[in-house]
Amino acid sequence: MVKNRQSKLTYLLIVILALLTLSPVVMLVIGSFSKGLNTFGDFTLAKYISVYTDPSFYAVLGNTLIFVLFSALFSTILALFLAYLNNRTNIPGKFMFKVISVVPMMIPHVLFAVSWALLLNPSNGILNLLLMNIFRLENAPFNIYSIRGMIMVEGLLDLPIAYLIIAPAMASFDISLEESSRVFGAGNMKTLFRITLPVLRPAILAAFILCVVRCLASFAVPSVLGMPGRTYVLATYIYRTVTTGFIADYGKAAAVGMSILILSISLIYVYRYMTRSSEKYVTVSSRGFKPVVIELKKARIPLFVILLIFSFILIMLPILVLLYTSFVPYSMVPSVKAFTSMNLDHWKNVLNDPVSLSSLKNSLFLCIVGASLGTLLSIFISYVIVKVKNKASGILESLSFLSFSFPGIVIGIGFMWFFVRTPLYATIWALLIGYIATYLPYGIRPMTSAFIQIHSHLEESSTVCGASFLTTIRRIVIPLLIPGIVSGWILMATMFFRELSLSVVLSRPGTETMAVQILKFSNDGLWGRLSALGIIMIGISVLLVITANLVGNHFKPETN
């Protein structure tokens, strides 16, 4: 009967989750098989035939694979490197890691891509001009409008996802596994490759797969950096499908989206297959311990410098470009003229715009309430995934990825087709539910890693002490989960704060969000106002993250 109540919870969660994630997808599937512009037309295969017989589709598919795999690889390797340096070595300036790991999530992706175009475009990219002057080059050394440029920028953008999954696993790693390796004659490097990385495989794979899924759906980078260089990936191909012509055929877009969906789902299954036994051997004791720190010796300072440069590129550069853009009257290359003509017009404009201000309020509401509800749901789902571990929990995990793995422009329409049949349509609750459904994996992943670390005896002893299930969750599980909850909440909140693809379809007067406002500025080419609002967004996100960390620390005073 323990089983019984666990499976009741599992089925309840499956129902909730299926409602959340399956509904838009079902709408899209129907739409892709229907004649006409909406769902529920006559059945037709025409949309699939026209998409999948187009020879250019397969070239796009090739590009997509390269873009996605290398971006995800880049993010994962970088994240591993950073997580290792932070958790396992005596590198100075560790506070920077926390910053590196969250800030890129707060920068709207469009802005991030645009600032890189400003830095590295082949005509007058600031860095390119600098390098050409220094080395007396004829041509610009870098072209950001290329698949390599796209990979780099997307890789940097997805780094936080990978880092936030790998770092906690690295931190809670049982040091005796490494020590025994060293005892048996393996050096630091050998231990790293033979013991540390293989044991961390579940986390590394999780990070990689999540990055792949995210890249598949990514639109900002391929559109800002891929289109000028005429490199198309599936997301921009879909965009082309829906924008050619005045009447967008979202059913056809959904037909293209299906291949992304199938790709994503199979990846998730591959991931589950590869980690099915390995999650068992993640051994973490219930007693707190500090992993042994590796002395970097001579490499300490050079690595620190690399880290410094890296944070500069990753965080300071785009923010500086944003700041600069928000002060100059129009897009200009930095020059004496540019600096003398700086003013606060864009800032005044944004701060006096009532829609921008109300969008700020809405976004804050969505991000705080949404992330909190999303985190709550993630706690229950992760509990089932980790602790119940039956077939149904596998279904649950796959479901949670469903809407996440669809490209934003398409899933937004799916949600619209769904919500228009509910009383929630055109309310802020539609946005809230849509956000939670789409970004649930961001909440679930950190939470499952945290759950894996809690020895089942800790809960069982609470039950034996007469605590009900809910008391156990409240007094034992949640406090122990705090690090996971905080990072899950931060991930969701920052995502929600700059969420665009759903908001642009579902927001209405009174429920505008900041990202929609940003998109409006971007449609009008108003980069200055865009940057000003972007900086406000980043500022608020930073405050949110700091608050979340403080609240998190408040709940675990006894260990510190």
In the range 399-428, which residues lie near another protein by CB under 8 A? Answer: 413, 416-417, 420-421, 423-428
Instruction: Give residue 138's identity as a one-letter amino acid code.
Output: E
Identify the three-state secondary structure at position 406. Answer: coil
Contact 400, 22 (CB under 8 A): no
Nearer to another protein, 104 or 251 (CB): 251
Contacts 24+ apart (CB under 8 A), 287-294: 288/559, 289/175, 291/87, 291/88, 291/171, 291/173, 291/175, 292/175, 292/178, 292/179, 293/88, 293/89, 293/90, 294/88, 294/89, 294/90, 294/188
Measured distance between the N- and C-terminal CA atoms of the chain, rounded to whole angstroms: 39
Residue of 6, 75, 101, 503 that binds another protein (CB under 8 A): 6
Q: Which stretch binds another protein (CB under 8 A): 303-311, 437-445, 492-500, 524-532?
A: 524-532
Nearer to another protein, 430 or 495 (CB): 430
Nearer to another protein, 155 or 226 (CB): 226
The CA distance from 284 to 275, in Å, is 17
Contact 202, 278 (CB under 8 A): yes
Tell the smallest beta-carbon distance from residue 329 to another protein (Å): 5
Nearer to another protein, 294 or 504 (CB): 504
Touching another protein, residues 529-558 (CB under 8 A): 556, 558
Nearer to another protein, 14 or 161 (CB): 14
The CA distance from 386 to 272, in Å, is 12
Touching another protein, residues 442-501 (CB under 8 A): 455, 457-458, 460-471, 473, 475-476, 479-480, 482
**Biggest CA-to-CA distance, the chain:** 77
Q: Which two tokens stand for residue 472?
A: 């156990």
Closest CA to 118 of 336, 327, 322, 341: 322
Query: CB-side exposure of 332: number of CA atoms within 13 Å?
Result: 14
Tell the smallest beta-carbon distance from residue 357 to another protein (Å): 13
Nearer to another protein, 183 or 470 (CB): 470
Identify the three-state secondary structure at position 34. Answer: strand
Nearer to another protein, 208 or 239 (CB): 239
Neighbours of 67 (CB within 10 A): 26
Q: Helices (H), strands (E): how many in the chain?
A: 29, 0
Residue of 141, 198, 302, 510 that binds another protein (CB under 8 A): 510
Residue 372 interacts with another protein (CB under 8 A): yes or no: no
Kindly report the CA angle at 142 between 213 and 312, in degrees rounded to 5?
70
Tell the smallest beta-carbon distance from residue 313 to another protein (Å): 21
Query: CB-side exposure of 522: number of CA atoms within 13 Å?
Result: 21
Give the single-character DSSP code of 291: P
**Cα dist from 51 to 65, 253, 259, whole Å:** 18, 9, 11
Q: Which stretch binds another protein (CB under 8 A): 69-77, 156-164, 280-288, 301-309?
A: 280-288
Residue of 141, 198, 302, 525 that binds another protein (CB under 8 A): 525
Residue of 10, 87, 121, 362 that binds another protein (CB under 8 A): 121
The CA distance from 160 to 545, in Å, is 13
Q: Which two tokens stand for residue 255?
A: 């037909």
Q: Which stretch binds another protein (CB under 8 A): 63-71, 197-205, 274-282, 521-529?
A: 521-529
The CA distance from 73 to 257, in Å, is 23
Q: Which residue is it, tokens 């945290």?
A: 450
Q: Which residues contact 376 (CB under 8 A, 6 or more apart)?
A: none
Touching another protein, residues 130-149 (CB under 8 A): 145
What is the size of the binding site for another protein (CB under 8 A)? Answer: 99
Q: Which stretch binds another protein (CB under 8 A): 9-17, 164-172, 208-216, 298-306?
A: 9-17
The CA distance from 252 to 371, in Å, is 32
Tell the smallest beta-carbon distance from residue 424 to another protein (Å): 5
Q: Which stretch binds another protein (CB under 8 A): 197-205, 358-366, 486-494, 517-525?
A: 517-525
Nearer to another protein, 11 or 310 (CB): 11
Contact 533, 521 (CB under 8 A): yes
Tell the smallest beta-carbon distance from residue 285 to another protein (Å): 8
Tell the smallest beta-carbon distance from residue 508 to another protein (Å): 5
Q: Which stretch binds another protein (CB under 8 A): 147-155, 173-181, 325-333, 546-554?
A: 325-333
Residue of 183, 340, 509, 554 that binds another protein (CB under 8 A): 509
Touching another protein, residues 185-244 (CB under 8 A): 223-224, 227-228, 230, 239-240, 242-244
Contact 157, 112 (CB under 8 A): yes
State the binding string over 330-359 for another protein (x if CB under 8 A, else -). xxxx-------x-------------x----
